[in-house]
Structure 1
Amino acid sequence: MSLARLSVELVPRTPEDLINEARTVKTLFPAADTLNIPDLMRFPLRSWDAAKLAQPYCKRVIAHVRAIDIAPDAPLPGANQPGLEEVLVVHGDLPADLSRRTYPNSSESVIRRYRREAPHLRVYAAFDPYRRAPWQELEDVARKKDAGAEGFFTQPVFDFKLFDLCREWLKNETVFWGLSPVIGPRSRSYWETTNHIVFPHDFDPTLEANVAFAGRVLRELSHTQGNAYLMPVRIKLEQYLPPLLAWLD
């Protein structure tokens, strides 16, 4: 058996960087059939515009959309964009620049708008097992499904036991399971401070251990034709992606 879908997340720093990374994925990691692109306020290139640049290298591109950035009377990002078929709606963190306008939208309200105004788009939502009590996150999952979400992207997981538990919670849902390498103490501190990740006591922040963990999860997901996305943060794609191919045979 094999994975149903495997995505690589690319950060849209500049158009040139994005195109180079999309080419790298196509060349060195042909197992990926999808790219997903976050919308990050510190870069001027918006995710849906980046999707246009990436599509020549991978036809399936999922653009992230921040709910709090969408004005009620503004068009929905990507709604009428040729070739774009999927979006991931996240709530979004408040910008560091407080003069930047945001809106009191929930993820659910924006998902409902997409279902009404762009029913041809497949809409995903976020799931984060580290953010708060599991019952609260699962109530959010139910609300997002009621709003029209057709699947979920998880916060990256770093513990196989937690991954297994979350799979039980999200049984029968379409889920892209997040995997991200954490190499060295600075990377670990970032995840602990910014995303409140609780690492297992025996977590090993080496490239080899991270590849082995991701490979184990990918192999497990392949038994049920699951989905995953890889988020290579602070590491070259050439270092992280090719070694994973051995786990996908």
Structure 2
Amino acid sequence: MMFNIELKDVGKSYGDNEVLRDIDFSVDKGSFTAIVGKSGCGKSTLLRVIAKLEETSKGTLTFSGEGSKDPKIRIMFQDDRLIPWKNILSNISIGAVNKAAAKESLQEVGLIDKEKDWPDQLSGGQKQRIALARALASNPDILLFDEPLGALDALTRMEMQNLIEELWQQQQFTSLLVTHDVTEAVTLANRVIVIDKGTIQLDEKIDLPRPRERDEKFTYYEKKILNQILGG
């Protein structure tokens, strides 16, 4: 099931520190939205609010879908958060619909041959594939990405971007990606939101065909978003 997400006048404060203020936007079901900005701008806090890991200090967060008020939300972090004393299949089975779903998600990320391995036997890229498989095994309505590719080398990062895009197109879950990488945002998202000092400074629709190529129009979006971040 797919869900819309709506935030109205959302704010988040920690004591006197106002991290988010006047956040107003909605996310269409099945869409892919990227949130970018400088370090400390509030983008990860916003993702945690949407994930319901943090309560809003003001405003409202609502979800709407067919026949249910409670979407199944999963979040993928930069660190894989695998349990070292459980093998790969056991790691993926945590929160999975069932064991068959765990195996299917492992197949989807191309690592079915690793189901009996231990996390410390895998490369960084393989661990992030496993983290992605674990999120998918629960059949999420909304999948959130908190800079999950930031620690990967350039080639592995591109491979993971392609895999995420492919699985999103196949499964049509609603996606939000927090990243500091503008190129990654334009590559994956059909909408990019720029946050600075806790507020939305730019909300840009990315009108590019898929798979995306780094052509003149791609560069146009890249420069527009980057200029907003650097000038903010």
TM-score per shorter chain, which class? 0.3 to 0.5
With structure 2 as the length reference, what TM-score do the two structures score? 0.37
Higher strand share: 2
With structure 1 as the length reference, what TM-score do the two structures score? 0.35
Of the two structures, which has the highest relative contact order with CA contacts closer than 8 Å and spacing of 6 or more? Answer: 2
